[in-house]
């Protein structure tokens, strides 16, 4: 296990991340959630529910009990980073204070580009930040055994978090989109916990 980096400066790390986004990421203005097409609106609502559940859990006694490192390295002293896609970015802006200097979101491609830079401090021991991610994709693993049924359009919701070094979990959930409604087909078709 990595020890907490006592020399870490979350504010400096955050400024470097914000500078990267400002100088290297081209973003269109985010739409209001109700202006999204029906599929993305459903994804926004599902992601928003996951984000709210995560934020409630991250500050709970249950999280502190499961991950004792949080007593020495509280999340309130680090930066919250959400790694997501368009529906998740819209949900983030609806739920989290847009003007906070302790929270930000990045598209998954932006986060990867940030980490790929030679001058980036990855903060691998999570001394400066903690993460939540939520992305939607259509990469259905052919080895997954889905319940019998007639499906329209399958989507995978990949979500998870890391609160500190070796303190996180993630899963993939399969949803069916019929053109109007998303229905959960299989929760936690893959899952990990640390």
Residue 4 pLDDT: 37
Residue 38, Ramachandran bin (φ over 0: left; ψ between -120 and 50: alpha; else beta): alpha
Picking from 106, 112, 177, the residue whose alpha carbon sits closest to that of residue 140 is 177
Residue 157 pLDDT: 98
Residue 155 pLDDT: 98
Residue 119 pLDDT: 87
Using DSSP bridges, classify how beta strands 129-137 and 79-84 pair: parallel, antiparallel or unpaired: parallel
Q: Please indicate, yes or no, whether the overall pTM of this predicted structure exceeds 0.95.
A: no
Judge contact between 59 and 103, C-beta under 8 A: no
The domains of the chain are located at 10-193
- One digit per residue, the tens of pLDDT, for the chain of length 194 reads 333 343 578 989 999 999 999 999 999 888 888 899 999 999 999 999 999 999 999 999 999 999 999 999 899 999 999 999 999 999 999 999 988 999 999 999 999 999 999 888 899 999 999 999 999 999 999 999 999 989 999 999 999 999 999 999 999 999 999 999 999 999 999 999 98
Residue 33 pLDDT: 86
Contacts 24+ apart (CB under 8 A), 142-145: 144/174, 144/186, 144/189
Residue 7 pLDDT: 57
Beta bridge mates, 161: 132, 169
Residue 1 pLDDT: 32
DSSP string, 44-78: HHHHHHHHHHHHHHHTSHHHHHH-THHHHS-GGGS
């Amino acid at each position: 296990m990595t020890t907490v980096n006592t020399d870490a400066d979350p504010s400096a790390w955050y400024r470097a991340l914000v500078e990267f986004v400002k100088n290297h990421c081209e973003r269109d203005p985010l739409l209001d959630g109700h202006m999204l097409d029906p599929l993305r609106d459903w994804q926004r609502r599902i992601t928003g529910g996951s984000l709210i559940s995560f934020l409630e859990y991250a500050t709970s006694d249950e999280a502190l009990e499961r991950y004792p490192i949080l007593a020495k390295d509280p999340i309130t002293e680090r930066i919250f980073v959400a790694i997501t896609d368009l529906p998740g970015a819209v949900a983030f802006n609806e739920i989290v204070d847009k003007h906070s200097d302790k929270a930000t979101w990045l598209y998954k491609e932006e986060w990867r580009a940030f980490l790929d830079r030679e001058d980036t401090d990855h903060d691998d021991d999570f001394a400066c930040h903690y993460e939540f991610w939520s992305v939607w994709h259509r990469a259905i693993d052919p080895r997954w055994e889905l319940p019998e049924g007639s499906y329209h359009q399958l989507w995978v919701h990949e979500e998870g978090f890391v609160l500190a070094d070796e303190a996180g979990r993630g899963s993939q959930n399969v949803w069916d989109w019929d053109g109007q409604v998303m229905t959960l087909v299989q929760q936690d078709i893959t899952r990990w916990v640390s």
